[in-house]
Amino acid sequence: MTQTVSGFSKLSKSEKINWIIKHHLQDSADARTIILQYWNSNEALQNLHDEFIENTISNYYLPFAVAPNFKINNAIYTIPMAIEESSVVAAASKAAKFWLDRGGFKAEVINTSKVGQVHFNYTGSIQSLQDFFKEIKPKLISATEALTGNMIKRGGGIIDIELRDKSELLPNYYQLHATFETLDAMGANFINSCLEQFAHTLKDEATTNAYTKQNRLEVIMSILSNYVPECLVTAEVSCKVEDLKDNDGINPEDFAQKFVQAVKIAEVEPYRAVTHNKGIMNGIDAVVLATGNDFRAVEAGIHAYAAKDGRYKSLSHASVENGIFKFWIEIPLALGTVGGLTKLHPLVKVALQLLGNPTAKDLMKITAVAGLAQNFAALKSLTTTGIQQGHMKMHLMNILNQLEATSEEKQLIVAHFKTHTVTHNSVIEALKAHRTK
């Protein structure tokens, strides 16, 4: 039975580790070694990482990689990616190279507005509430002036506040639905601060206003939404069908037809759409992580968008019209290039420098392109050679590491599987045969 503890957060890092080793890891010397070996030898850097979150005992590393040769709106990018899954970076790089000489990727930001809400209950008449809201709306905005001044100077701030009646869904439930422009900041703290001020003003005005003082108005909570269906970016590639011809000997007309059909299947079949979109997120999440953004918020918002029409479906689309192949994506992305980890995490700084210190709009375009590239590479494999051929070759090194192969053995086995199909069992047998010799 595991142990409970009081005051754990007040213990030093070493004390936390000692308690965990004793009570949860059976005094394992190996566990202690693993935890300690991931500490950074640079004390200042380690302290910085320790202060990102609470109760830190070590660091958890993900590979930090780059995918070169991305031509986006006629500019060349090398895209940073942080991810652990085999073949993702290779696939993105391959797609970038494929489209490099076919016009590259085109990307456009449609809108950047974000959403926050004050959720409240009200028991009076809707007309009285509407009249009350019209009266206090200017006060809601003016009460936030201390919060919004700097943002307004840069061209952002509060776009609008609406009263929304949700009482048909939940009795007595209403919202203040606010939209914001936060420019290069993701804006969570700014939005939440504004919303909490809205809530204070709403409560204060409700206690004295003639419309509402006879009826109960109760604020439940104030919080931004990670569903940002207006904060949209598009990315696309296109070329003549005949230009899809590659060194793989695939017939371009057949390939285009199968590719479009594969996308259409993901548009109508949720079981396929989930895996299809997961592949898109392989590219998106890797860039979001590398640039210090919130991949959980991005994931939640994008998947909600995939189901916005009442059925979960593909985020990407494809067509062949008048001999032109086109493949595109439209997704909501709330990203920032200032604030949060962007000025704290050293590798995040490097990632943003690598991208030319992009604006938030630029980063939206780059990230959407990474998702589209990943999706193209996956669908190209699925509709031609199959996904496992390339994936398992990239996974080969992971299998060899699990089997504790030496450097010499790795070289020999990798050479062997250049002309053989990789499976877990086939790698075991090949390594066993080599060791027997």
Q: Is 278 a catalytic residue?
A: yes
CB 50 within 8 A of CB 57: no
Distances (CA, A) of 418 to 396, 412, 414, 428: 11, 10, 7, 16
Of 22, 278, 308, 343, the catalytic one is 278
One DSSP character per residue, 226-256 reads S--TTSEEEEEEEEEGGGG--TT---HHHHH
3-state DSSP assignment of residue 159: strand
What is the rounded distance in angstroms from the CA atom of residue 364 to the CA atom of residue 112?
A: 10
Taking the CA atoms of 421, 425, 426 and 430 in sequence, report the sign of the dihedral they define: positive
What is the rounded distance in angstroms from the CA atom of residue 24 to the CA atom of residue 2?
A: 6
Of 119, 380, 391, 395, the catalytic one is 391
**CA angle (247 as vertex; 243, 252 as ends), nearest 5:** 40
Q: What tokens were used for 287?
A: 């860039």
Of 205, 294, 345, 380, the catalytic one is 294
Q: Is 294 a catalytic residue?
A: yes
Of 13, 49, 50, 85, the catalytic one is 85
CB 161 within 8 A of CB 177: yes
One DSSP character per residue, 285-327 reads HHHHHHTT--HHHHHHHHHHHHTTTSS---SEEEEEETTEEEE
CA 347 to chain centre: 17
Paired with 331 in beta bridges are 233
Q: Is 391 a catalytic residue?
A: yes
Q: What tokens were used for 199?
A: 């809530």
3-state DSSP assignment of residue 332: strand
CB 401 within 8 A of CB 414: no
Catalytic positions, written as ranges: 85, 278, 294, 391
